Amino acid sequence: MAALYPPIEPYASGHLDVGDGQEVYWETSGNPEGKPVLFVHGGPGGGTSPAQRRFFDPERYRIILFDQRGCGRSRPHIADGADLSVNHTGALIDDMERLRAHLGVERWQIFGGSWGSTLGLAYAQTHPERVTELVLRGIFLLRRSEIDWYYNGGAAHIFPDVWETYLAPIPEAERDGDLVAAYHRILTGPDPAAAQRAASAWTGWENRTSHLLPQPDADSSDRFDLAFATIENHYFVHHGFLDEGQLLTNIAVLHHIPAVIVQGRYDVVCPMRSAWDLHRAWPEADLVIVDDAGHASLETGIADALVSATDRFATGDNR
């Protein structure tokens, strides 16, 4: 945490009507005349938190956070019956563009980790003319091999004890099959209590495997768990609404955009293979490997590298 800038409060916030009955929460902090940066949160379904403002120099950046559809302070929330059918990658990219126009931003830096790296890459490949730089962490390309590794048993070899809690909501007869599909049936099924138990197990699996060294169980809530697990699972059942390997196939459109990739060597959630594959396809992007870190953005080495990257890109008038 020492690498981060001091806590700050937003100077403006609101809800933007993006259509489909959705209102996306947004906030801005830092310098209103500073360099615009958009923080793209993980999950999907994770929402934003105040600590995420602290990756940026508030004297030099106009810091923009937003909660993606169905989670955080966006409306309606999954727990309140948000419509999953209008929640997909293309809609989120369109929401980002609507937010950019709403805030009067011409171009902005894209900063995202985990699913935020997925969505950040997808947005930048759709609207490269709107992106000044990319700072990406814990790379997730949403390939089938990545889903299978983490949700269908690969990571169980490293966390067999935690894996048992992940398996617990799944009937024994279904535990040798596609667990993402099994979770989907429960999370979207008719039994709210079963869905909540499954959401807590899914979210707990990620919380307890995201750090190199064990951490106290993260504070959570049933409302957060339900949004995080339900939206994340919805995206993964649908392969992120991306073609297999799409983000690597289309990488050439980003070769001219300055970028830093930060990756924990012992990241179990999003293993380093994906960051390496991205860097090999995009050698112009700087790859920073943090040898004593896992997945979490607030691990010391990860936070240091992310702040170093945003400090590096803070100069220049790219508004």
> Active-site residue among 67, 95, 225, 267?
267
With beta carbons less than 8 A apart as the criterion, state whether 70 and 46 touch: no
Decide if 267 is catalytic.
yes
Amino acid (one-letter) located at 95: D
Handedness of CA 233, 26, 85, 127 (dihedral sign): negative
> Active-site residue among 41, 67, 77, 114?
114
Backbone angles phi, psi at 61, to 5 degrees: -115, 145
Token pair for 153: 């048993």
How does DSSP assign 241-295, residue by residue? Answer: GS-TTHHHHTGGGGTTS-EEEEEETT-SSS-HHHHHHHHHH-TTSEEEEETT--S
Decide if 295 is catalytic.
yes
For tokens 């700050």, the residue is 8
Decide if 114 is catalytic.
yes
Q: Is omega for the bond preceding 128 within 30 degrees of 0, making it cis? A: no
Instruction: Answer left, alpha or beta for residue 243, where phi above 0 means left and psi between -120 and 50 means alpha.
Output: beta
> Active-site residue among 41, 88, 295, 297?
295
- Catalytic positions are 114, 267, 295
